[in-house]
Structure 1
Amino acid sequence: MNNKQNFNRNAGHRNIQQKNYTKTTTKTNFKETKEPRLKVIALGGLEEIGKNITVFEYGNDILVVDMGFQFPDEETLGVDYILPDTTYLEENKEKLRGLLVTHGHMDHIGAIPYIMPNKFNIPIYTGQLTAAMIKKRQEEFKYSKDLIVNIVDPDKDQLKLGCFEIEFFRVNHNIPDGMGIAIKTPVGLIVYTGDYKFDHTPVDEKPTDFSKLAKYGGQNTLALFSDSTSIDKPGSSISEKEIGKNFMNIISDVKGRLIVASFSSLISRIQQVIDTAQAYGRKVAVVGRSMNDNVEIARNLQYLKVPKDIMVDISQASKMPDNEVCIITTGSQGEETSGLMRMASGDHKQVKIKKGDTVILSSSPIPGNERSIVSMMDNLIREGAKVIYDKLMDVHTGGHARQEDAKLMIDLVKPKYLVPIHGERHRLVMHGEIGNSVGIPENNVLVADNGQVMEFLHNGHSRVTEHRVASGIVMVDGLGIGDVGNIVLRDRQVMAKDGIFVVILTIDKRTGRLANSPDIISRGFVYMRESEELINNARNYIRKTLEKKDGTYPSNWTYIKTKLRDEMSKFLYEHTQRQPMVLPVVIEV
């Protein structure tokens, strides 16, 4: 890729002295004019953790940063993934100039194969490892068109996309190839951190590019869009190498098999497990499709350094002495189909948990997953395993900036405006308060909702507007994309809570009367053999309800089914204090 040399050192110049963080008007004195402005819209990643996607728009040019999905919570029953609503991009696809991807985690790349290239096929610019992960994921979508993926080197490459001039800078995260983005816009310089932390001793990767961050600090940066995921944690991030020391301490005492569960994308963590296993004479077996895929990609690109002959197949590992085996698998979040969850439930074909096993959960619980993780841990312990997790020993360091890291980022970049991103409202507000503590005026912290338009003018003024664009969610369930909505979810929640009660009415076509006794099917509500009195009373109640209808025929069965559903719901609640879904079915014979 050709370098662009016009990313000049005065990018984003404005008429104030940055070192004093001069207070400027935002909302109150913002004059309504028709002058061009930079619009920034997060279609995801605010009010939540996950499905990160941010839109930068000026005139006829739109730049998109990241396109991730979100994993479902307990309320979204049966849903596989949650995508951002990209209606706004589809309506303005002639303006789209490119997609910049900061790193390879699914909350930043996961939505790409569902949205691109079917809805719009724009060039993607990202690092080498991230590009390989995007392409590997796309292979699962056999009937999609090929993506246009361009690899950039953050140390050298610069881009010109429409009116935007773009430079990348290295950041540390818990996956290699993490990048931040500096965007020179017509109104000023924007610095977008992506997911980052400051790690001065990273595992087998380059540290954060402090020189570029300091350079932006001397270029009158207009706005810093900064990661808020771990902003509620005091202090600075723990170095990944500290986790390696803890692995060494743990493995030195382990006599049986060692099983380490982590995210498949935590390449640096996998590297540390491999290094530690080698130090103690253990072979390493990888279990889980996504873990195998990512290990293969990272090895091929030499992001993962694997000593010769240390890797073995899981079938080979099962025949080896326990004290010579280390298994790396997925499932640290208690995911239902993960390798560790299947081991814990006894469903894994090749690995059975037994007494003497030591299991390390090398990740922190994602909010909402605690119950699944505890249940899995209990099953592992019940089978005789010892479980080590972050409450017992520091076997995971997060990949996100803590409070002191956030302060350092602000001190380096010296932005006029701080825009907290990646987090729920309380994290965004907390990040803003931390910005205030290091000199960012309160009015210069912009906290927005998903879909809410932020505007930046040439005169240095900025505001969060009341204008909003579509920014809802699109749910993926199996092969269906967007065909599961709130009504379907509500039905699933009702059935999951109190079950379903089906009433089947066989009606004589000539008379409009019941041809025989109503059939009743109960699933998840009551066990019919043990509830005969309730079922018989329900049948009698149904008959009486139908007898109340007027004698005209043909009958309005749509109205009658609605009436019957309402009456039966009341009847069942009075007798059981439960509210199953009542589904009347009419068959004419």
Structure 2
Amino acid sequence: MEIEIATVGGYEEVGRQMTAVRAGEDVVIFDMGLNLSQVLIHDDIRTEQMHSLDLIDMGAIPDDRVMSELEGDVKAIVPTHGHLDHIGAISKLAHRYNAPIVATPFTIELVKQGIESESKFSVDNDFVKMEAGETMSIGTSGQVDLEFVNVTHSIIDAINPVLHTPEGAIVYGLDKRMDHTPVIGDPIDMDRFREIGRSDNGVLAYIEDCTNAGKKGRTPSESVAKEHLRDVMQSIEDYDGGIVATTFSSHIARVKSLVEFAEDMGRQPVLLGRSMEKYSGTAERLEFVDFPEDLGMYGHRKSVDRTFKRIMKEGKENYLPIVTGHQGEPRAMLTRMGRGETPYELDEGDKVIFSARVIPEPTNEGQRYQSERLLKMQGARIYDDIHVSGHLREEGHFEMLEALQPQNIIPAHQDLKGFAPYVDLCESQGYELGRDLHVTRNGNLIQLVE
């Protein structure tokens, strides 16, 4: 069976992920993502109101013209998890393909919300829910199957999809960390990865996220981040002024920990910001997390400002606002607080907890720097970097190669500079650049089996 891979997006940057695999006449698309940094550098852009061609021109979503060179029909669109760099272009591109969107329940709900807010295109693709550990047949040949393997990441309900073909498995390895003690959900299913690697046909190709490949050691568990956060919050629990926390809105496990520790401190937690309300509300509705019944979640600006007024009236020492803005996004809650645009008044000595790291990209770094400066000018004390990454480090990558023993490797989710540490690791394990280690660019085709 002919096996061909189109590296559509995410092979020159972190963002706008999209990869297509052709097995015979059947094509499966993995991810359709947004490069958020290409949007953030423009003032007040509303992507839901923009045409896909304009977004392609500005480098915000994948240029999928290479798909016309694949001699087959798309049978499924498979987003791996709910981060925007993996699902943010579905509302702009999915309608071009007569194929269902196949994903885990939480991811499907986030995709649906993105489609509902889309004002330029009508997306009528069917949705197929599939849980980690399940398999479905792809196409009509009866020779190709799609499997979801459970992985742990900085968002719940993440999977690595595996396409089983007569020539071997194609493992799409974006994004994960090797977490054996997650705060929410099951540990990464390393047993299944080892089974796939040692099956009769083995792994024909492994497409891997290289984000942290240059960092030594292994990525700590989310339970480590939880204990770090607990330590920080206990150290300031006697402070009788304002304490504000921010983290990734999609990081439900971290939000859960913040809510839990707020209550331990005798403060009322409240979630503020559109994306905070969106992700946590969806997770609670789907019963991935059990928040307190009285936990307030407010997304619209008027309701947020009403909540800030209530906090100021009843006393900042009684509340822990958990807000958007960990990257210094211009319209996020924490940025507005730093600019003095909310009823919440920061006083000298008030604490701001960043339970997140800056995404290493110039736009984010600049906005985060500005946000912190504004907060400090109002007297805030910053508690930073209370976080663990959602991506594998060097030893995690080594363990995955040991488990899968792939015949071919395709680095992804980085630019060429970012690929270099992973290429070095693979070459140390006997792979050779240009032979079975394929460094590629956006818009290329890789023929694995002719």
- Using the size of structure 1 for normalisation, the TM-score is 0.67
Amino acid at match of 1:234: K
Q: 1:416 aligns with which of 386, 407, 419?
A: 407
- What does residue 22 of structure 2 align with? 57
Q: CA deviation at 1:381?
A: 0.8
Give the 3-state SS of the residue equivalent to 2:132 in structure 1. Answer: coil
Once the two structures are superposed, residues 433-488 of structure 1 have per-residue CA deviations (whole angstroms, 9 ceiling, x without a partner) of 11222343453211111112111126xxxxxxxxxxxxxxxxxxxxxxxxxxxxxx
Residue 252 (structure 2) aligned to one of 260, 267, 273:
267
Q: Which residue number corresponds to residue 373 of structure 2?
A: 378
CA contact (8 A) 2:13 2:413 kept: yes
- 1:449 is the counterpart of 2:444: no
Would the alpha carbon gap of residues 80 and 57 (structure 1) be closer, same or farther in structure 2, given more than 3 Å must change? same
Where 2:447 maps in the other structure, the secondary structure is: strand
CA contact (8 A) 1:71 1:80 kept: no
Equivalent residue, structure 2, for 1:157 = 135
SS of the aligned residue for 2:254 comes to helix
Deviation at 1:204, TM superposition (A): 1.6
C-alpha distance in 1, partners of 2:134/2:23?
26
Residues 412-449 of structure 1: per-residue CA shift (max 9 Å, x gap): 11111221111111222321211222343453211111
State the partner residue of 1:240: 222
Residue 283 (str. 1) matches residue 268 (str. 2): yes
By how many angstroms is 1:267 displaced? 1.1
More relative contact order, 1 or 2 (CA 8 Å, 6+ apart): 2
Structure 1 residue aligned with 2:397 = 406
The reply on whether 1:131 has 2:108 as its aligned counterpart is yes
Does the 8 Å contact 1:224/1:415 carry over to 2?
yes
Assess if the C-alpha contact under 8 Å between 1:98 and 1:161 holds in 2. Answer: no
Query: Per the alignment, in what secondary structure is the counterpart of residue 222 of structure 1?
Result: strand
Q: What's the offset of the Cα at 1:361?
A: 1.7
Cα pair 1:429 1:447 within 8 Å, conserved: no
Deviation at 1:76, TM superposition (A): 5.3
Secondary structure of 1:224's counterpart equals strand
Q: What secondary structure is seen at the aligned counterpart in 1 of 2:392?
A: coil
8 Å Cα contact 2:218-2:396 kept in structure 1: yes
Question: Aligned residue for 2:286?
Answer: 301
The answer to whether 1:170 aligns with 2:147 is no
Deviations 1:351-407 (A, max 9, x none): 3322332111222212112121111101101111111112xxxx0111001000000
Structure 1 residues 46-95: Cα deviation after superposition (integer angstroms, max 9, x where no partner):
11100000011234321100000101359954456611112233676971
* Shift in alpha-carbon separation, 1:312–1:122, aligned structure 2, 3 A: closer
Question: What are the residue-to-residue correspondences of 1:95-114 with 2, within 5 Å?
Answer: 95-114=73-92
Provide the secondary structure at the position in 2 that maps to 1:384.
Answer: coil
Q: Which residue of 2 aligns with 1:144?
A: 122
User: Aligned pair count?
Assistant: 417
What are the superposed Cα offsets for residues 183-212 of structure 1, whole Å, 9 maximum, x if unpaired? 112432111112011011111210001111
Spell out, residue by residue over 1:492-542, the C-alpha distance to the aligned partner (whole angstroms, 9 max, x if none): xxxxxxxxxxxxxxxxxxxxxxxxxxxxxxxxxxxxxxxxxxxxxxxxxxx
Deviations for 1:165-198, whole angstroms, at most 9, x for unmatched residues?
1111000000011100111124321111120110
Structure 2 residue runs of 5 or longer lacking an equivalent are: 48-59, 299-306
Q: What letter matches 2:156 in structure 1?
A: P
Q: Judge conservation of contact 2:76–2:101 (CA < 8 Å) in 1.
A: yes
CA contact (8 A) 1:72 1:80 kept: no
Change (3 A) 1:93 1:361: farther
In 2, the alpha carbon distance for the partners of 1:93 and 1:59 equals 8
Match of 1:210 in 2: 190
**1:203 maps to amino acid:** V
Q: Cα distance, 1:312 vs. partner? A: 6.8
1:229 to 191, 201, 211: 211
**Corresponding residue of 1:343:** 337
Give yes or no for contact 2:272–2:297 (8 Å, CA) kept in 1: no
* SS of equivalent to 2:203: coil
Q: Is the 8 A contact 1:332 1:373 kept in 2?
A: yes
Give the fraction of aligned pairs with identical amino acids, expressed as a percent: 28
Q: Separation in 2 of the partners of 1:354 and 1:383?
A: 6
| 1:437 equivalenced with 2:428 (yes/no) | yes
Q: Residues 532-571 of structure 1 correspond to what in structure 2 (within 5 A)?
A: none
Larger Rg: 1
Q: Which amino acid aligns with 2:117?
A: E
Look up the equivalent residue of 2:273 and give its one-letter code.
Answer: G
Tell me if structure 1 keeps the 8 A contact 2:247–2:325: yes
Structure 2 length normalisation: TM-score?
0.87
Give me the whole-angstrom Cα distance separating, in 1, the residues matched to 2:395 and 2:409.
15
Alpha-carbon distance change, 449 to 91 in structure 1, aligned in 2, over 3 angstroms? closer
Instruction: Please give the alpha-carbon distance, in whole angstroms, between the structure 2 residues aligned to 1:67 and 1:387.
Output: 36
1:151 alignment partner AA: K
Equivalent residues of 2:136, 2:146 under 8 A apart: yes
